Each structure stands twice: as C-alpha cells, then as structure tokens.
Structure 1
Amino acid sequence: MNTKALLCAAAAATLLAAAPAPRAAAGSPASPASDTPRYERALPTAEVLIDAGHGGIDGGAHYGSVLEKDINLQVAKRLYLVLRSQGIPAVLNRTGDYALSDENRWHPSRSRHQRDLSQRRGLTDEIAVQLLVSLHVNWSRRPSASGPLVLHQEEGRSALLAAFLQDALNREYGSRRLPKVGKPYYLLNLVKRPAVIVELGFLSSPADRAKLTDPRWQQRLAEAVAAGIRQYLWTAG
C-alpha cells in the first residue's frame, strides 16, 4: 500500500484544524447542532475516517457545472473541523480535487474505478479507524425525489450509526426517511469496521440543490452528521 497519500492527507488535515470553522451569516437560521456545547465528559477514543466521495477525473453526479465531488469535499472539510473541535479524532482521505486511484500502486486492476474504491477501503486497514463515513450526493430521474438517505452494512453497529445519522439529517430537512441496507456497495461489503454511506441530498432536486450548494447549509449538514456520529459514540462506546 502506498502511504504517501495518507501522509499528505494527515499533514493537510493538521493545517485544516488551525482554520476557523465557518459561521452562518447574520440573521440566517442557526443549526440546532451549532448550539450544542462540548460535553464535559470525555468521549470514548475513536478515529473517524471521512471519505469524501469521488474526486479528480471522477466528478460523480452533476447538474450543469455543479459537481458532486466538490460538494462532498466541502462538507467533508467542515465535518472534519466540527469533529476535531469536539475532541473526536478524525481523518480525511482527500483534502483536494484529486482521484484516490492515482495513489493506488498495489491493486492490479486496470479499472480506475476499482482502484479508487480499493484505495478508500485500504485506508481503513492502514490507520486506526473505528468507523467510516462516506459522503455522497444522490441523483434521481424523478425531480420529486429529495432528502437525505443513509446506507449501512448488514451489521448491528453500522445500522445503529446509520439510524443516528439519518435522524439528525431528517431533522435538518424536515423529512422522515429511514436508513437502508446498501447491499451492492463495495465499501459497505468489504470494510471490516462499521461503515455508512451518507447521501446528503439529491442534486436532481431544485430544493436540495439549493441547500447542497449553500455554504451555510453545508455547515448545517456537517454539524448534523457530526451530531449523529457523536450520538453513536456515546451509545456504542
């Protein structure tokens, strides 16, 4: 396994930690999670790997010039800052617009997509990760499809994490979705730790798209995901 990308990501993440967390503009609605005080009692030790989906040549879902990979990364960076500010160790697997497949020199597959996925999975074995949260944006041919969706493994801890994340995101969106088992997804099938895929909203929905591209809403989504992770750590720890 090539560790160069991991070391670069760790160094970049350290720099991110020094940056101030974005603040909502004056008069904007505050996220419930933003007013949550830090717990006085220490959380169980945990390492959260934040997987910013897609990147580089792989833009993911798109609407015009709006690319999923950019939204994933923007929310991932905010989530990293929120978790670290709350004393929860976290690692980002990419801090810029590049494909993780470029760093994979160990997987023999000629498929860039396969190398990308195996690189993401491999990092969960290479560092002391206790759970994986993979951030994505959904798409549907139906413009009416909207809201967040959390996919989980057929495993109790993953299902519990997904339930907390789904509940926190539902509160932000005012939705009532339930998490689902993500049977066909590579990461959920092969990662040996509790893992979830968080679909933050539908890029195909005008209402969701307005939220996903709004820095204030990106912050709210990051705080909601952090709240779900925190609740899981308290419950499972």
Structure 2
Amino acid sequence: MKRISLWMLTLIMILMVVLPSTGHAAITASTHINLDGQELALPASGQVETVDGTVMVPLRVIVEQLGYKVSWSNKAQTATIKKDKTTLQLVAGSHVATVDNKLIDLPEAPLLQNGTTLVPLRFISENTGTTVKWDNTVKTVFLTTPKKIEPSVPDKTPDTTTPADTTNASALQAISFSDSRLTVTLNGTASPKYSALTNPNRIVLDLPKTAFSDSFLNGKVMNLGNVGKVDVAGDPDVAGIRYSLFSNAPSTVRVVMDLNNAQKYKVINNNKGVVIVELDGAIKPASTINNGTGTTTNNGNTQVSGNPNTSTDPVITNPDGSTSPASDPNNDPNTTPTDTPSTAVPVTPGSGPGKDGKKLVVIDAGHGGKDSGAISLTGRYEKNFTLPVVLKIQALLEQEPNIDFVLTRSDDSYPTLPDRVKIANDLNADVFVSIHGNSTDSAVSPSGTEMYYSRTSSLSLAQIVHKHVVAALGLSDRGIHQKSLHVTRETKMPAILIEAGYLSSPKDEALMYTDAFQEQLAEAVVAGIKEYLGVE
C-alpha cells in the first residue's frame, strides 16, 4: 500500500512539472508558421500556444512580415500595429482590441511570454486579410495573403500597367442581384457596352469612364485588388457574377454574369446612374426596373433586349429614337473573336417614377461597412440593427402594388451621406425614411423612441410615422424633434430619421435585436408611409 501511495505521489509531481499552467498549452515544440510558402523563424521566448482552445501566436513575427510596423508601450502595455491607413491596438490582458478606432472583441486577451506578445491567430487573420489553415500532420499553421485574381474573361487582358485614369469618371456605388436582375448604381451617368457570349454562356457588361467608389470598396472586404463576386446562391439561371476594374485607360469596370444556359436579356439605363441587366425569366412590364432591393419606375431612355440565339450585332436605342451599335468586348483589332455576340432589340422606354400612379419610397439603413454606428451595452453595432429592420421593411413593401422602393444599402456597405441623398434626389422619390438606433454617454441612459426631421415640409410625415412607431413598439415617447441632419436636410422630398430606441439602455437594447421588435418596427414604418401617401 505504501508503495502504491509513493508511486501515485511521484506521478502527480511529474504531471505538475510537465503540464503547463491551467488554460495554457504549447501546441508542440515543433509547431511551425508558414507565410506564403516561407517558414517564419519563431523566437525561443514566444512559441505558438493555445489558451482555452484559442491559438495564440507571436504578434511581431507575423505582422512585420505582412508589412505592418509594430510599436510597444511598456507603460500602457499596448501594442500598436500600423500599415497605410489601418491602425490596430491590443492591450495585454484585455479582451477588447481597437481597429481604426472601432472596438473588436477578442476570444482571448493578448498575453506576454518572456517579452513576446502572443495574440489570437484569428484576430490577425480577420484584420489583415490573410487566410489560415492548420495541418495537423506537419504541425504547421499556414497563412496566405490575398492575391489579386482577375476574372477569367478571355475577351481581353485587363490593362493594369498604369494607374486608372478616373478623371470625370462616375463612381460605382453598388452592385446587386435579385429576381434575375443585375443592378449597378453609380453617382453619375454611364454609357454601358455589353454582349452575350457563348462557350461558356455569359453576359459581359462594360462601364467606361467608371471606377469603384471608396464606399463600395470599404464596404466589401472581399474586394481586395478591386475584384469581387456578387452572391447569386440558388438562382437557376445565373452561375455567378464577378466584377473588376477591367481597364485603366479609360477607367472601366467590367461585370460578368456567368449563365447556366443561354438567356434572352435586356439592358436598361435610366440615365440617372442606374444600369440594369434583366434576364428573360424575370422580365416585367417595361415601366418598372429593379435596383436589386426593390422596384422603381424607369425614368430613362435606353432599354435593350438580347437574344443569344441570333447573330446580328447588338444595338442601343438612343434618346432621340435612333439606334447605334453596341460595343463588343472583343474589341481588339489584332484578335479574332471566337464567341458570338447577341442581338439587342429596342424596347419602348417606360414612364417616370410615379407617373403610373405608384409612389416611390427610399429606405435608408443607417451606417454600414466601415461605419459601425453606436455600440450597444453588450458590444453590438448599430449597423447590425438598422439593416435587418430595413430588410424587413423591404419584404413588406414588396407586397404593396402601389409603392415602388429603393434601399440605399442592402448589405454591409457604406454609402456616404451625400450618396444616400443623391439616390433619393435623382430618383425624385416621394418619401425618404432613415432607420437608426440611439445612444448616449450619460451615466443613466434614457429609454424610448424619437423622430427627427429638418424641413417643415417633412413634419406631417414625421407625425404620422411617429404615431405608428410609438404605438407598435411600446417604448417611451420621446417626441418629434427638428434638427439639421444631412440626410433629412439635403433631400428634396419629405424626409425623416427614426431613432427607434436607445442602444445604451438595457431595456431598449434587450428588445432591439429581436426579430419581434424589428418586425413591429417595420410594420409600423410601412403603415405610417402608406397613411401619409394615401395608399390603400
């Protein structure tokens, strides 16, 4: 018995020496980090570790290889990482990091190990654009930096040898796809060139004198290198949509719709910054167009339909009624096209917004993309409250036959305030409604719903919508206020901004991120809009 007890005591002592302290464990002494095929030399004082399941890696070794500069404040116990306009800050022992002045939650706090700062690998990956893969067989963390991949359109090699000439170029603000319609929104006019090609089937849309806006790129994490994709999951006719800065002289954005089968199509240019490619399966009356998030009445001059089964050259109907050839992407005189372009047949332009008796509403989801808005008590972003509400409003407005609508954003992008105003003004909308969540730095946060307007012509809209919202949400009625806000001041139609509740209030925040609250708010907004517009 004494021998067994002695043996057990010895075993326990061995385990205490061998095993790391609670919560920390070195993955293995032979763990490697490989960046773009090159193994990084790890300092003896800072090996890869796991802390409660989170992989922790030496900060300086990785980020300096990615081109970042690292500085350490011993007094503040803070690491600052900078590259171009990006600044990251991590504090030893803190579960909150700062990325360009925005607070980011960390799965584990950075820790100091013999003078080396270890940080969560996932944080490095998500904030530097690198992808991560763990190969257990060779005990190696593989990091891969993003590479610029041009869309595989064999028509012409993109001109990327010189910087893009964006002089007088229109800025592309959004690309979206819904109901078999591709919608491109610009802050100016465009003269699209397009063709349907075969082997494989695809529609190619070129937008000369067009460049990506900063807000578009900032809102699309995937758009490193000005290349990206549009989600078309589940669409029976479209296999994928991709876009890139195809040419630098002149600056030209190319959008390619990869098709599962040949499709008839039409191109609609309303000459106010909206270009649409509509497939035959989704063709609706010529008086309406879809911006990818709703339906608006066409106010433009150019509409084109295509038939991929014929071989005559595409044509565009000009504003004066004449026709002219549409440009083929196979425009290199030194090459012979192997794909057959489609036919484009003129279609009668539709009426302007509201001329068919419909009302046009612009719905704005506050903040988005790089602009998180206010941060709630539990660390949730205002932008993640406003967008779901607006998408619920969208679903309700789609059921209203007498209302057309446009969303200023339908994803996590950031249209600037002037962008949002321009969309509404250019479309000559009847109503503009912006959705927000409120916040305050006061020790005791108020609770309740507030309504804002700028011009007296908007007061009636504010009163009607506020009445519906307060009744639906059941929060304190904090009144209707006149205030000079950009989106309500610069828009030319009745415009309001709704502060649905306070993200800084425990009571309000607990409700605001629930589907029930958001549905009630959406229903109230739509009811108020309908009452104001006199729509049954």
Give the aligned partner of residue 19 of structure 1: none
CA RMSD of superposed structures (Å): 2.4
Correspondence for 1:130 among 425, 430, 446: 430
Counterpart residue type for residue 399 of structure 2:
S
The 1:218/1:8 distance shift into structure 2, 3 A limit, reads farther
Higher strand share: 2
What is the SS of the residue equivalent to 1:13?
coil
Partner of 2:390: 76
Q: Which residue of 2 aligns with 1:180?
A: 481
Q: Which moved more, 1:118-127 or 1:214-223?
A: 118-127
1:189 aligned to which of 489, 502, 507: 489
1:2 aligns to 2:171 (yes or no): yes
Confirm or deny: 8 A CA contact 2:294 2:407 kept in the other structure: no
**AA of the residue aligned to 1:85:** Q
Contact 1:150 1:162 in 2 (8 A): yes
The alignment partner of 1:85 has SS state of coil
For the 8 Å contact 1:153–1:194, the answer to whether it is kept is: no
Name the counterpart of 1:199: 499
User: Where in structure 2 are the equivalents of 1:61-100 lying within 5 Å?
Assistant: 61-63=374-376, 64-87=378-401, 88-100=403-415
Name the residue aligned to 2:447.
146
The separation in 1 between residues aligned to 2:393 and 2:452, in whole angstroms, is 18
Letter in 1 for 2:446: A
* CA apart distance, 1:170: 1.1
Distance 1:98 1:232, change over 3 A: same
Specify the SS of the correspondent of 1:89: strand
Q: Deviations over 1:42-99 (max 9, x none)?
A: x952111001110111000012431100110000010111122122211111111011
Counterparts of residues 99-110 of structure 1 (less than 5 Å): 99-100=414-415
Contact 1:163 1:178 in 2 (8 A): no
Write the distance in 2 (CA, Å) between the matches of 1:85 and 1:46. 14
* Structure 1 residue 215 displacement after superposition: 1.0
| Deviation by residue 1:94-153 (Cα, 9 ceiling, x = unmatched) | 1110112xxxxxxxxxxxxxxx11111111122241111011110023444111111012
Q: Distance in 1 between matches of 2:516 and 2:357?
A: 29
Which of 368, 376, 380 is matched with 1:55 structurally?
A: 368
* Distance in 1 between residues matched to 2:408 and 2:487, nearest whole Å: 14
Shift in Å, 1:218: 0.6
Shift of 1:197: 0.5
Three-state SS of the structure 1 residue aligned to 2:174 is helix
CA distance in 2: counterparts of 1:3 and 1:193, whole angstroms: 24
What displacement does 1:14 show? 5.1
1:213 aligns with 2:493: no
Unaligned runs of 5+ in 2: 1-169, 176-182, 186-289, 296-355
2:260 alignment partner in structure 1 = none
Corresponding position: 1:119 with 2:432 = no
AA matched with 2:473: Y
Deviation at 1:8, TM superposition (A): 4.2
Q: Tell me if structure 1 keeps the 8 A contact 2:452–2:496.
A: yes
For 1:153-199, what per-residue CA distance to the aligned partner results, in whole angstroms no more than 9, with x for missing partners?
Answer: 2223x10110011111111233333211122x112221111111111
Match of 2:7 in 1: none
Q: Deviation at 1:4?
A: 5.1
Contact 1:68 1:137 in 2 (8 A): yes
Whether contact under 8 Å (1:44, 1:233) holds in the other structure is no
CA distance in 1 between partners of 2:531 and 2:492 (Å): 21
Query: Is it true that 1:13 corresponds to 2:293 in the alignment?
Result: yes
Greater C-alpha Rg: 2
| Superposition TM-score, scaled by structure 2 size | 0.34
Q: 1:160 and 2:329 equivalent? A: no
**C-alpha distance in 2 between matches for 1:3 and 1:46:** 26
- Please name the residue that 2:233 is paired with: none
- Secondary structure of the structure 1 residue equivalent to 2:410: coil
Conserved? CA contact 2:473–2:521, under 8 Å: no
